Amino acid sequence: MEARAIARFVRMSPRKVRLVVDQIRGKSVNEAYAILQFSPKSASEPVSKTLRSAVANAQYKAQDQGEVVDVDDLVVREVFVNEGPTLRRFRAAAMGRAAPIRKRTSHITVVVDSKEA
């Protein structure tokens, strides 16, 4: 039972989110929850929310088809971060110049699947 969840326009740099995402790829869902809960990175919060959404989507999809899915049997099959649109701002700099500030965004995608699949 494959299910996915996508968190779009997360106000965090994709480079920082990828550090967290790489830790949970291929792990069981319970193990991924534990890793994210104790991770000191602030990116672990949106990744955790997206993972919970993917698990809820899997449960809903299974219920819709009349099947039962056990959360303990789910594995993080695929997880990746794409770059979203960049918010461009400018800050005053020395001698009347302007210095650009790039506020980056991310799109986080999590795909969970059952172990036997």
Q: How far apart are CA 74 and CA 28, in angstroms?
A: 6
Q: Note the pLDDT tens digit of each residue in 50-93.
A: 999 999 999 999 999 999 899 999 999 999 999 999 999 999 99
Please compute the mean of the pLDDT values over residues 39-49 and round it to a whole number: 97
Q: Does pLDDT of 116 surpass 80?
A: no
Instruction: Answer for the pair 103, 64: CB distance below 8 angstroms, yes or no.
Output: no
Structure tokens at 4: 């996915």
Band of the pLDDT at 46, cuts 50, 70, 90?
Answer: very high
Provide the residue ranges of all domains of the chain, joining segments of one domain with +: 3-114
User: What pLDDT sits at residue 1?
Assistant: 84
What pLDDT score does 117 carry? 56
pTM of the model: 0.93
Residues 7-30 have a mean pLDDT of 97
Choices 3.90.600.10, 3.30.70.990, 3.90.470.10, 3.40.50.720: CATH for 3-114: 3.90.470.10
Indicate the Cα dihedral angle 28, 59, 115, 79, nearest 10°: -50
* Token couple for 89: 């701002």
